[in-house]
Amino acid sequence: MRGFLVSSIGVTCAAALALPVALPSAAAATAVGPSAAGALPGSTQSLPLAPLGSDRAGGAARAEGLPRRDVRPFSLLGVVWDDPDAELRGSVQVRTRATGTTVWSAWQDIETHNHEHAADPGTAERDSGRVRGTTAPLWVGDSDGVEVRVRALAAEGPTGAPGGRASAGDADGRASAGGADGRAPAGGAPALLPAGLRLELVDPGVEPPPGGTPADAPRANTMTAEAAASSAVNADLAPLGALTIPGLTKERTEADVLAARGAGARPYVGPRPRIVTRRGWGADERLRERDFAYTKTVKAAFVHHSATGNNYRCSQAPSVLRSIYRYHVMSSGWRDIGYNFAVDKCGNIYEGRAGGVAKAVLGAHTLGFNTNSMGIAVLGTYTSAAPPKAAVTAVARLTAWKLGLFGANPRGTTYLKSGGGNLYRKGTRVRLHVISGHRDGFATECPGRRLYSKLGTARSASARYQGR
């Protein structure tokens, strides 16, 4: 896998050291954390699920779960299984107990269709042999008790569910959704659960140093080689080890772009927004793959919601990000966090996948359309809840700057070639909005109905920031 990945800065490659990502055993409850991974902050508890009652068919379970039990403290959870191509056609519900109390939450649903957030088929990241099937992660806050139940649902008929694998498809390149042949099991027979179901409980580890030190003070003297490599790719924007990349005025941003490109027409680019670096939100760079992966350009931005729920404070956003990062790498088997950027509900912008915020970094956010695009996750779930105005504005500001660096018009459309998915066959040339929702490239609920309805607002505002 690492053979095809390249770094744009030679010293970065030389400095970065790789640690193997050891996935938890499926045979028993395990923990990946300080005791098992070289004193890395945070941990992951992996608990195998067991059949519930006698609900089995042909040796496979239709319902599995975990009885109410005490566990070590955690803040985010999800369910994983062995085969990344297998769908979990059913429901996943959990309830948790707040740490140090006897108070249990109500049952909460976990979004089961998460494989649409992934590396494209046929890529080294996707074919690494480490990737698993996963639900979306759910942020539950500091907890030390858990109970889970997973139930297969009866099929609804030949239509199938969004998130299925593509079949032969139609003449226009659109693919059918459903099971292996594009259809759900006939006759309403109950689906079976995928093999190797496990509950993953993620502890994000300690918070970065509090505001007692200057928020933007570099901390290069405490950096590991991996952290130095991750920071070095942003060296043109902020000092090595900086916790944030400072915002710039439009005039200063344009001047910097002209200086990089040489004399020419005034660029359509928005003012650079303030961005919290990976160091700023506390990413442990030893978790991810060593090198960085790039595409040729950034022609489009896909907007997502993280589906982790809205029960977080903005001060907790770094912990949410560290949890998602660990879940994507240690539980899902990806090379790094999947999104290129994240935005919290207060409008703060965060660097996502390592490789440089101004560069065309290859992500794993929109199955089939990761090449020449970027993914922005708004932290939260926005199916029925409206996204805060600050978050929509942050999406507009971020896209105005980043898309502007690559000459893209936020109000326009562009063409991307599908890498394979459930809407378009591999190789299909697809016309998309320059600012699209995840569902535009894959049959999914993401980014949630309420956030999706705000994308027109984000496009218009982004274009205005660019001066169009």
Residue by residue, pLDDT tens for the chain (468 residues) are: 433 343 333 333 333 333 333 333 333 345 544 433 344 579 999 999 999 875 555 555 689 999 999 999 999 999 999 999 898 999 999 999 999 999 999 999 999 876 667 787 788 888 888 999 999 999 999 999 999 999 998 654 443 333 333 333 444 455 544 433 333 344 455 568 999 999 999 999 986 554 434 444 555 557 889 999 999 999 999 999 999 999 999 999 999 999 888 777 789 999 999 999 999 999 999 999 999 999 999 999 999 999 999 999 999 999 999 999 999 999 999 999 999 999 999 999 999 999 999 999 999 999 899 999 999 999 999 999 999 999 999 999 999 999 999 999 999 999 999 988 778 889 999 999 999 999 999 888 999 999 999 999 999 999 999 999
Residue extents of the structural domains in the chain: 24-203, 220-466
Q: Is the Cβ–Cβ distance between 80 and 198 less than 8 Å?
A: yes
Cα-based angle 241, 344, 206 (whole degrees, multiple of 5): 50
Q: Which pLDDT score is estimated for 206? A: 81
Cα-based angle 166, 167, 169 (whole degrees, multiple of 5): 95
Alpha carbon distance 282, 338 (integer Å): 16
Q: Which pLDDT score is estimated for 195? A: 94
Q: Would you mind telling me the total number of residues written for the chain in this entry?
A: 468
Dihedral-angle region of residue 368 (phi above 0 means left; psi in -120 to 50 means alpha; beta otherwise): left
CATH ID of 220-466, from 3.40.50.1100, 3.40.50.300, 3.40.630.30, 3.40.80.10 = 3.40.80.10
Alpha carbon distance 222, 254 (integer Å): 34
**φ, ψ at 185 (rounded to 5°):** -55, 135
